[in-house]
A and B are shown apart, each in its own frame.
Chain A
Amino acid sequence: MTIPLSTSSTGQMEPYLRMEGISKSFGGVPVLDDVKLQVNRGEVHALTGENGAGKSTLMKILAGIHQKDEGRIYLNGNLVDIRSPREAIRLGISMIHQELNPVRDMTVCQNIFLGREPYSRLTRVVDSRKEKEQTRRLFGEMDISVEPDEKMGNLSVAEMQMVEIAKAVSYSSNIIIMDEPTSAITGKEVAKLFEMISGLKAKGIAVIYISHKMDEIFTICDTITVLRDGRYIDTRQAKEFDRDTLVSRMVGREIKDLFPKSNTERGPVTLEVEGLTQSGVFDNISFKAHKGEVLGLSGLMGAGRSEVVETIFGLRGSDGGTIRVNGKEAKIKSPADAIRHGVALITDDRKMKGLNLTASVRDNISLVNLKAFSRFGQVIRLKKENQTADEEIKKFRIKARDRYQPVGTLSGGTQQKVVLSKWLLNNPEIIILDEPTRGIDVGAKAEIYGIISRLAETGKTIVMVSSELPEILGLCDRVIVLYHGRISGEFERKDFDQERIIKAAMGNPDGATIHFMN
């Protein structure tokens, strides 16, 4: 250890990063109020708090995306003024963003080298061979099986997330901010990420880790800082916290009974899928879902779960197979057809498929259901619409200034609640949820689990795609496991067994198990 550059008044060693008295408001509404954060070299520091607590905003200030209204940032004891993302990168700060934001029309390696393309010395043009080579090497180190030439827009959310992680790591920074890096990836990838984080730590790099997944926080984090409502609450060693105290510090109240599962009568079959096939993606998928049942679709990333439900919903075409709703064949060629048959799909990619980010909370909530708010089918009853929007905002505890706030300016988890509200408002009979709690805080998760259970109790059919095994185990009556586009297992609730489900997801019922996060 070299001589510390400076020491604070308490005689402790100066941390590598010190943020102090940070305040920030958007359009007059305070979002951060006198927040502090201290992170040492070689430390994995968890930043926790409910949706809208201000975690992403604080980190965006550090990464030069937002400008703080007040406060000071010290790096290595030196006061710094971070005015742009470029400057943050120059200071050795890189960030994996919660809302993935790649250039979709560019290739994977062009995205990785965006803004720092290697130039050929001779011709002064971008050296795309070098780009590709370095990308391949980077992916090799991280076990990512994505072609550097692939268009970014063709990747799944999970693959995009891995590419973003690789990109952030490739900057050789001193501080890497990871804002919910595991929201779209599962088992193997998460294990890989943790391995990488350990490597970064050993190199003395500081990692700031934001996640709503408690297990992850307690697995890899050394220190935990809690924010609530834009205010600093606490910082402690991870071992001084236990799960319950951490949650209550975050939420300011206690969460009991995360999975309020009640036994409901299994009614008649409402949704029947037979031999559904899309060549190269999934093959011969058949299952039945019942009224009053929560049916889980489990599997690893890339197993084809999202593709199956998107096909049922008419978002993708199929190469064969039939879908029956309430015993009658349903020709679903577009989402409009599916909605007419009483089917709703809460998609996994809220930014791309779920929301109109420039529109208000109200306009998003009422969109699917607009006809019901209209006189003569066309003229919107604004009063009724406003009233309903306000009710929904209260019901889902959507943290918005008012119903007119553009959805794009809400926190990630809050956006997810808007998507849920928008679809449930239509009162569908068959509700397909694709990763419904992605990016949602513990308190809200409990609320959403409660909502799902209640929907099943009232006789709805629920099909839930989830990569979080506890969620599947806690909530589902039955689970179907997919592996490489085929059904590799089916389990009734009474036979639920974590090991066997994981094995089915790996496609080798007798093979070795691997570490399955969460």
Chain B
Amino acid sequence: METPTDELKVTGNDTAAVLSPADRRIEKLRRAGRFFSKYGIYFALVLLVAVLAVISPPFFTAANLIDILRQISVIGILAVGQTVVIITAGIDLSVGSILALSAVMAASFAHPGQYPLIVPLMVGLGAGLVCGALNGFLIAKSKLAPFIVTLGMMTAARGMALVYTSGRPVFNLSNAYDTIGTGYFAGIPLPVVIFVMVILGGIFLLHYTRFGRYVYAVGGNELAAKVSGISTEKILIYVYILQGVLAGVAGVVLSSRVMSASPALGEGYELDAIAAAVIGGTSLMGGVGTITGTVVGALIIGVMNNGLDMLNVSSYWQQIVKGAIIVLAVLLDKKSKGKA
């Protein structure tokens, strides 16, 4: 007698139990295939590192690897926020400009002997928060497309940074402020430490909290989320606020690392952040994406830049390679999921 629960088992995990040895081998291969398509992006990273390690020995040294992490930390912080935004089926083009505005505002409060360190930090994050909140309100309440709203913010925030500084970089920052970007904690550069904290925070938020689940729900089917009693507007506003604050963090980290804040900081970073998320498997259609994927995406970009530098490939060529990799990654992703 076949009971429904038996049927469930047959189609469940122990498929192998009802297969012949030959079938089982095929099944093993299939499983490997599935594993690869799911973690393909990780293999790509490992492969990339392996190849570079072989053809350029100085690449695979602890110092260089840590250097790569430091290089990607700013983009990476932005990319974590971008991932959350893209999962809601949105996009944020203004992060590079918000980064600049936060940086110049924070820096202007960070001259030696002026204020305690907390003041410039709060100013930087506060500027990001306000810009993010404005994005969020316009997108959630007036139902404007995120692309349009953040495109406007991208131009406006850059303009504000220029107005605020009269177009001149802010120099002469306190040692305490500079330490954020140049200091170490247990041998690890502080920007990397901050990046790792942002990653952990992002993973926790997306995968272990109610808020995170609602982010996926809004991106997957906004109407169904609303029917389920979720205040979709509130979620959207919080998401863009989060992204704004992270842009503020990135602004502080970047300006303290280069020990000055130019209103031109972070130009084009929004595209790198989006690229990291997309290479990492976040779907621009919404509802799909992970922080770990994005981190791998950022690492691929970072490793590639660094490796090509070491091989003395010109930065012009690097751009071409990077562009190709982005399209290739999305293509592979589509292929592996398109079958399902």
Contact = CB atoms under 8 A, between A and B. Distances in A.
A341 to B, nearest CB: 11
Nearest to A338: B229
Nearest to A355: B224
A493 to B, nearest CB: 31
Given A229-B7, A353-B223, A368-B229, A26 B340 contact: yes
Contacts of B13: 401-402
Interface in B214-233: 214, 216-217, 220-221, 223-231
Contacts of B210: 370-371, 374, 377-380
Contact of B221 (A334, A355, A401, A422): A355
Contacts of B225: 356, 367
Contact of B227 (A347, A371, A377): A347
Interface in B1-49: 2, 4-5, 7-8, 10-13, 15, 27, 30-31, 34
Nearest to A366: B213
A399 interface: yes
Contacts of B288: 358
B317 interface: no
Residue with the highest number of chain A CB atoms closer than 10 Å, among B2, B11, B225: B11
A147 B311 CA distance: 65
Contact of A370 (B213, B221, B226): B213
A26 B340 CA distance: 6
A3 interface: no
Interface string A246-273: 0000001000000000000000000000
Contact of A252 (B2, B31, B286): B2
B220 A336 contact: no
Given A336-B230, A380-B208, A402-B13, A356 B224 contact: yes
Contact of B220 (A345, A356, A409): A356
B17 to A, nearest CB: 13
B229 A359 contact: no
Contact of A345 (B34, B216, B227, B287): B227
Contact of B229 (A336, A358, A366, A402): A336
A339 interface: yes
Nearest to A393: B8
Given A357-B221, A374-B210, A367 B8 contact: no
Q: Report the contact-size class of chain B (Cβ under 8 Å from the partner).
A: 35 or more
Which DSSP category, helix, strand, loop or mixed, fits chain B's interface? helix
B164 interface: no
B209 interface: yes
B10 to A, nearest CB: 8
B287 A28 contact: no
Contacts of B4: 397
Given A27-B340, A370-B213, A378-B211, A335 B227 contact: yes
Given A252-B2, A378-B210, A402-B13, A356 B340 contact: no
B23 to A, nearest CB: 10
Nearest to B222: A356
B34 A27 contact: yes
Interface in B267-289: 283, 286-288
Interface in A359-393: 359, 363, 366-368, 370-371, 374, 377-380, 382, 393
A296 interface: no
Contacts of A125: none
A354 interface: yes
B84 to A, nearest CB: 16
Contact of B287 (A252, A358, A366, A399): A358
A28 B283 CA distance: 24
A352 B228 CA distance: 12
Contact of A28 (B31, B217, B220, B227): B31
Contacts of A399: 7-8, 11
A356 B229 contact: no
A335 B213 contact: no
A255 to B, nearest CB: 13
Contacts of B224: 352-356
A152 to B, nearest CB: 16
Interface string B34-73: 1000000000000000000000000000000000000000
Interface in B164-199: none
Contacts of B10: 229
Contact of A357 (B7, B220, B226): B220
Given A27-B340, A399-B8, A401-B11, A359 B217 contact: yes
B71 to A, nearest CB: 33
Nearest to B26: A28
Contact of A401 (B12, B27, B283, B286): B12
A214 interface: no
A366 B339 CA distance: 27
A315 interface: yes
Contacts of B230: 336, 367
Nearest to A394: B5
A422 B217 CA distance: 14
A338 B210 CA distance: 20
Interface of B: 2, 4-5, 7-8, 10-13, 15, 27, 30-31, 34, 208-211, 213-214, 216-217, 220-221, 223-231, 283, 286-288, 339-340
16 contacts: A30-B11, A334-B226, A335-B226, A335-B227, A335-B229, A336-B229, A353-B227, A358-B287, A370-B210, A370-B213, A374-B209, A378-B211, A380-B213, A394-B8, A397-B8, A399-B7
Given A353-B227, A357-B221, A374-B209, 17 more contacts: A229-B7, A315-B226, A334-B226, A335-B226, A338-B229, A353-B223, A355-B221, A356-B221, A358-B220, A358-B286, A363-B216, A368-B229, A370-B213, A377-B210, A379-B208, A394-B5, A397-B8
